[in-house]
């Protein structure tokens, strides 16, 4: 089954404790992206990757890091989480940069709470 998986689905942590949210897709997609969803703000792009070893900042990259060492994986790293990073996070992938008719496939989301 074609899918994007994220782990963990729920995470409660404390300020300053490094964490990683994993994302994996099995569709051989070149493009992958991380979003955060906050009430009333819709989805805001954190980072994206056009292909292996190619990553770039989205609209809200501060406090986050990513890596793309393999095509299928695109982990999101919070080196020193802060309470304002409490949010719902989505990973997405598509066969191109997401434009045109190409559909972005979304993971199920990771709800992160930073105390």
Partner 1 sequence: GEDVEQSLFLSVREGDSSVINCTYTDSSSTYLYWYKQEPGAGLQLLTYIFSNMDMKQDQRLTVLLNKKDKHLSLRIADTQTGDSAIYFCAGWYSSASKIIFGSGTRLSIRP
Binding-site ranges for partner 1 (CB under 8 A): 4, 35, 40-45, 48, 58, 90, 92, 97-101, 103-104, 106-109
**CB of residue 85 vs partner 1: minimum separation in angstroms?**
19
Contact of 32 with 25, CB cutoff 8 Å: yes
Name the β-bridge partners of 76: 21, 66
- How far apart, in Å, are the Cα atoms of 108 and each of 7, 15, 88? 9, 24, 10
Our CB check for partner 1 shows the closer of 19 and 43 to be: 43
**CB of residue 41 vs partner 1: minimum separation in angstroms?**
6
Our CB check for partner 1 shows the closer of 75 and 107 to be: 107
**CB of residue 104 vs partner 1: minimum separation in angstroms?**
7
Our CB check for partner 1 shows the closer of 36 and 75 to be: 36
Name the β-bridge partners of 43: 37
Our CB check for partner 1 shows the closer of 11 and 43 to be: 43
Report d(CA 69, CA 40) in Å as an integer: 34
* Separation of CA 55 from chain center: 12
């Amino acid at each position: 089954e074609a899918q994007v998986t994220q782990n963990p689905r729920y995470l409660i942590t404390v300020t300053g404790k490094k964490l990683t949210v994993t994302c994996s897709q099995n569709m051989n997609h070149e493009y992958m992206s991380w979003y955060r969803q906050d009430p009333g703000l819709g989805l805001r792009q954190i980072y994206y990757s056009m292909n292996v070893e190619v990553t770039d900042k989205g609209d809200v990259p501060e406090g986050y890091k990513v890596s793309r060492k393999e095509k299928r994986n695109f982990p999101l790293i919070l080196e020193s989480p802060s309470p304002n990073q409490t949010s719902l996070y989505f990973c997405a992938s598509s066969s191109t940069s997401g434009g045109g008719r190409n559909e972005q496939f979304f993971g199920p989301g990771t709800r992160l709470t930073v105390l």
